[in-house]
């Protein structure tokens, strides 16, 4: 089977995408698939067959830079010619994880791995996903949203104080902790908001709870399966871009040290959220356990989680009894199956 792996892209997570793609390509080739690398550079230009492999030479995570969306986006000719039987998108962040690339592949009639257009767009949007999950009765940290089109914000500090400091300020549609700030005092709030607005026109201001950070890998459609949970323990600050990719300042515990009852509740919550948001194929559901009370809070869903050597998604399936090659096989099978169902009248 010929598998197209799309990676890179104009988002701030370009360098992370390269590392994920390299791992996926190695795994697919080892499993016997013919892989066609399909790279997109930092300007949003498709590289084509000759240059796609060369882009992987850029591997090496570097501090994120604001993406440059200038220029037109021609399509890789191999997609137009249907040279691949299925696509494995490994584009993290906007353009690749927000329903954009999924819409392109749907329009071309090409099967692909992962969530569809609607779920991808919804899960990428921290504000809309929190609204929907909250409506379903699942707890989230107290939050408010800001829209750059309505700037300046009247009584911003007062509104934030009603949530209670410390706070997290986040771009609504960005991953890998890009643009996120932890704000301890009111006087630092506006600077953090301006930083978040560098990455998106909407910003989430969220209460910083005293919590444990728990992640669960989900696989499948209906019924989906949940892995054993993992836990992120930042040694200082919070789990930011540097802690994820550039140093060892965070401890990743797989499986998470939880009681049997907690593990069961976490997995059930993750599966319910996956279903509420209309996910299919795969996603990583991120939750909080409040220290002291033990209450579970929804954080966010990542529909194209990292596949780097240290990424939680494949790691949690490995400890749950599903090795990496088998995981890749199942993801491809799920993508093909969904495409067949959607193509049947």
The verdict on whether 306 is a catalytic residue reads: yes
Q: Is the pLDDT of residue 274 over 50?
A: yes
Quote the pLDDT of residue 72: 41
The verdict on whether 302 is a catalytic residue reads: yes
Q: Are the beta carbons of 305 and 20 closer than 8 angstroms?
A: no
H-helix segments, the chain = 14-30, 48-55, 77-80, 100-108, 117-124, 126-135, 156-163, 189-197, 241-245, 260-276, 312-319, 324-343
Residues whose CB is less than 8 angstroms from the CB of residue 194 and which lie 6 or more positions away in sequence, other chains included: none
Listing DSSP states for 149-167 in one string gives GGPSPTTHHHHHHHH-SSE
User: How far apart, in whole angstroms, are the C-alpha atoms of residue 225 and residue 268?
Assistant: 10
pTM across the whole model: 0.88
The verdict on whether 313 is a catalytic residue reads: no
The verdict on whether 13 is a catalytic residue reads: yes
The verdict on whether 274 is a catalytic residue reads: no
The verdict on whether 286 is a catalytic residue reads: yes
- Tens digit of each residue's pLDDT (9 = 90 or more) over 227-257: 999 999 986 655 444 544 444 557 889 999 9
CA distances from 263 to 28, 214, 227, 255, 309 (A): 31, 10, 10, 10, 24
Dihedral, CA of residue 288, residue 290, residue 296 and residue 300, to nearest 10: -20
Q: What percentage of the chain has pLDDT greater than the value 70? A: 89
User: Residue 65's CB: how many other CB atoms inside 10 A?
Assistant: 11
Quote the pLDDT of residue 276: 97
What angle do helix axes 312-319 and 324-343 make, rounded to 10 degrees? 110
- Walk me through the domains of the chain, giving residue ranges and CATH numbers: 2-112 (3.40.50.20), 123-139+210-336 (3.30.470.20), 143-207 (3.30.1490.20)
Question: Catalytic pick from 306, 320, 330, 338?
Answer: 306
The verdict on whether 52 is a catalytic residue reads: no
Mean pLDDT of 14-28: 92
């Amino acid at each position: 089977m010929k598998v197209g792996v799309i990676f890179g892209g104009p988002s701030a997570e370009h360098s992370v995408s390269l590392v994920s793609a390299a791992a996926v390509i190695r795994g697919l080739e080892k499993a016997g698939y013919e892989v066609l690398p399909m790279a997109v550079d930092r300007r949003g230009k498709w590289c084509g067959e000759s240059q796609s492999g060369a882009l992987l030479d850029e591997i090496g995570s570097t501090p994120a830079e604001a993406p440059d969306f200038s220029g037109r986006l021609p399509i890789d000719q191999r997609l137009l010619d249907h040279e691949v039987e299925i696509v494995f998108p490994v584009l993290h962040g906007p353009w690749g994880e927000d329903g954009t690339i999924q819409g392109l592949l749907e329009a071309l009639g090409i099967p692909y791995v992962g969530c569809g257009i609607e779920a991808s767009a919804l899960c990428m949007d921290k504000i809309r996903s929190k609204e929907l999950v909250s409506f379903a009765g699942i707890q989230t940290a107290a939050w408010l949203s800001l829209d750059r089109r309505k700037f300046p914000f009247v009584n911003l500090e007062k509104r934030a104080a009603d949530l209670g400091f410390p706070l997290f300020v986040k771009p609504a549609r960005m991953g890998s902790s890009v643009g996120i700030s932890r704000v301890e005092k009111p006087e630092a709030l506006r600077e953090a908001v301006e930083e978040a607005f560098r990455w998106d026109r909407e910003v989430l201001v969220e209460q910083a709870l005293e919590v444990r950070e728990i992640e669960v890998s989900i696989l499948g459609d209906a019924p989906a399966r949940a892995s054993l949970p993992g836990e992120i323990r930042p040694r200082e600050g919070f789990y930011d871009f540097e802690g994820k990719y550039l140093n060892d300042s965070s401890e990743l515990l797989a499986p998470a040290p939880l009681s049997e009852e907690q593990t069961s509740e976490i997995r059930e919550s993750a599966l319910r959220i996956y279903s509420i948001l209309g996910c299919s194929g795969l996603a990583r559901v991120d939750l909080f356990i409040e220290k002291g009370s033990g209450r579970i809070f929804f954080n966010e869903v990542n529909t194209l989680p990292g596949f780097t050597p240290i990424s939680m998604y494949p790691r949690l399936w490995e400890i749950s009894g599903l090795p990496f090659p088998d995981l890749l096989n199942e993801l491809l099978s799920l993508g093909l199956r969904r495409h067949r169902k959607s193509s049947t009248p």
